[in-house]
Amino acid sequence: MNRIIIINGPNLNLLGKRETEIYGVHDFKGYLEKLRERYPDVRLDFFQSNMEGALIDKIHEVGFGKCDGIILNAGAYTHTSIAILDAIKAVSTPVVEVHISNVFARESYRHHSMISEACKGVVTGFGLDSYRVALEGLLG
Ligand code: DQA
């Protein structure tokens, strides 16, 4: 069985409540349930934290053989965190960078990602469905 983990970073616990014109009205829990139903052969784990170090600890924990792929929405840390970049570089598990919104259609400070260079691929702008597209990419 494929084991994939979705890791969500800061403020993504507020999906469905936060800037709904950008991120939509659906919370992540409901979306994850649908994703699990759609991919019954995938073990889909989930972790969210607002703290940079906790995200790094989780990448370390799962990134050496405990799962087959990481789908990472690092939120605003995408644009700032060399530490998360280094964590992605350190582990052996492939990481796909995901964004709900199209970061290139937004403010210029969102156009640069610190982490893309270490990721297998980047998915941005498909709403919550960005996670499914990333999953398809990992499953090949
Ligand atoms: C985001 C885009 C980031 O720029 C922002 O800071 C987020 C969410 C997205 O999913 O579109 O928190 O990663």
Per-residue pLDDT of the chain (140 residues; tens, 9 = 90+): 699 999 999 999 999 999 999 999 999 999 999 999 999 999 999 999 999 999 999 999 999 999 999 999 999 999 999 999 999 999 999 999 999 999 999 999 999 999 999 999 999 999 999 999 999 999 99
- Does 111 participate in catalysis according to the annotation? no
Q: ∠ CA 138-120-134 to the nearest 5 degrees?
A: 40
Show Cβ contacts of residue 29 under 8 Å, excluding neighbours closer than 6 positions.
Answer: none
- Does 99 participate in catalysis according to the annotation? yes
pTM to 2 decimals?
0.98
pLDDT at 1: 66
Query: Cα separation of 94 and 136, whole Å?
Result: 13
The catalytically annotated residue of 31, 77, 99, 131 is 99
Residue in 20, 28, 73 to alter for ligand 1 test, most ligand atoms within 8 A of Cβ: 73
pLDDT at 72: 99
Q: Compute the distance from residue 124 Cα to the ligand 1 centre, in Å.
A: 9
- b/e burial code for range 95-123 (CB count within 10 A of at least 16 → b): bbbbbbbebeeeeeebeebbbeebbeebb
